[in-house]
Structure 1
Amino acid sequence: MIIENFLSFNPNGLYCKYGDFYLDPVQPVVNAVISHAHADHAIPGNTSIYCTEATHAFMKLRYGKNAGREFNIAAYHAPFNIGGVTIFFISAGHMLGSAQVVMEYEGVRYLYTGDYKVQPDATCEPIEWVNADVLITESTFADPEILHPDPVAEIEKINDIKSNILLGAYGLGKSQRLINMINEYAPQKKILVHHRIMPINAVYEKMGIKLGKHQIYSRKLMKEQDEFVYIVPPFTFDSYIRAVGVKRLFASGWKNLQVNQQDTLFISDHVDWNDILLAVKQIKPAQIWTLHGKGTHLKKYFGDDIFVKILN
Structure 2
Amino acid sequence: MIIDDFVVIDANGLYCKYGDFYLDPKQPVNQAVITHAHADHAVSGNHQIYTTATTWAFMQLRYGKNAGKVIYTAQYNAPFSIGDVQLTFIPAGHMPGSAQILMEYLGVRYLYTGDYKLQPDATCEPYQFAKADVLITESTFADPAVLHPDPVTEIKKLNDIKINILLGAYSLGKSQRLIRMINDYAPRKKILVHHRIMPINAIYQQMGFEIGNHQIYGRKLMKTQEEWVYVVPPFTFDSYFRATGVKRLFASGWKNLQVNAQDTLFVSDHADWNDIIETIKQSQPTQVWTLHGNGSHLKEHFKDDIFVKLLN
Q: TM-score, normalised by structure 1?
A: 1.00
* Alpha-carbon separation, structure 1, partners of 2:86 and 2:71: 18
RMSD: 0.5
1:174 aligned residue: 174
2: CA distance, partners of 1:108 / 1:67 = 32
> Equivalents in 2 of 1:38, 1:3: separation in Å?
29
**Amino acid across the alignment from 2:192:** L
Alpha-carbon distance in 1 for matches of 2:155, 2:281: 29
2:98 is equivalent to residue 71 of structure 1: no
Partner of 1:43: 43
Q: Secondary structure at the match of 1:305?
A: coil
Q: Report the counterpart of residue 184 of structure 2 in structure 1.
A: 184
The equivalences for 1:23-42 within 5 A come to 23-42=23-42
Give the gaps of 5 or more residues in structure 2: none
CA distance in 1 between partners of 2:219 and 2:257 (Å): 25
Cα offset, 1:72, TM superposition: 1.2
State the alpha-carbon separation in 2 of the partners of residues 221 and 18 from structure 1: 57
1:301 is the counterpart of 2:301: yes
Match of 1:11 in 2: 11
1:44-101 Cα shifts (integer Å, max 9, x gaps): 0001100001000000000000000233100001111111100010000000000000
Cα deviation 1:236-265 (Å, max 9, x = unaligned): 000000000000000000000000000000
Task: State the distance in 1 between where 2:182 and 2:287 align.
Answer: 40
Q: Which runs of 5+ in 1 are unaligned?
A: none
Q: Distance in 1 between matches of 2:10 and 2:83?
A: 19
Distance between the aligned counterparts of 1:129 and 1:147, measured in 2?
A: 20
Residues of 2 paired with 1:69 and 1:283: CA distance?
33
Whether the 8 Å CA contact 1:291–1:310 is kept in 2: the answer is yes
Q: Where does residue 113 of structure 2 map in the other structure? A: 113
Summarize the alignment of residues 267-286 of structure 1 with structure 2, pairs less than 5 Å apart: 267-286=267-286
How far did 1:11 drift?
0.4
Structure 1 Cα separation of the partners of residues 134 and 150 of structure 2: 29
Partner in structure 1 of residue 246 of structure 2: 246
What SS is found at the alignment partner of 2:120?
A: coil
String of CA shifts for 1:118-164, please: whole Å, max 9, x gaps.
01100000000110000000000000000000000000000000000
Q: Deviations over 1:195-224 (max 9, x none)?
A: 000000000001111110000001000000
Q: Distance in 2 between matches of 1:69 and 1:37?
A: 15
Code of the aligned partner of 1:169: A
Identity of aligned residues (%): 73
Q: Which amino acid aligns with 2:153?
A: A
Give the equivalent residue in structure 2 for 1:143. 143
Distance 2:164 2:76 in 1: 41
Q: Report if the CA contact (8 A) 1:56-1:71 is conserved.
A: no
Does residue 1:263 correspond to 2:250, yes or no?
no
Match of 1:159, as an amino acid?
N
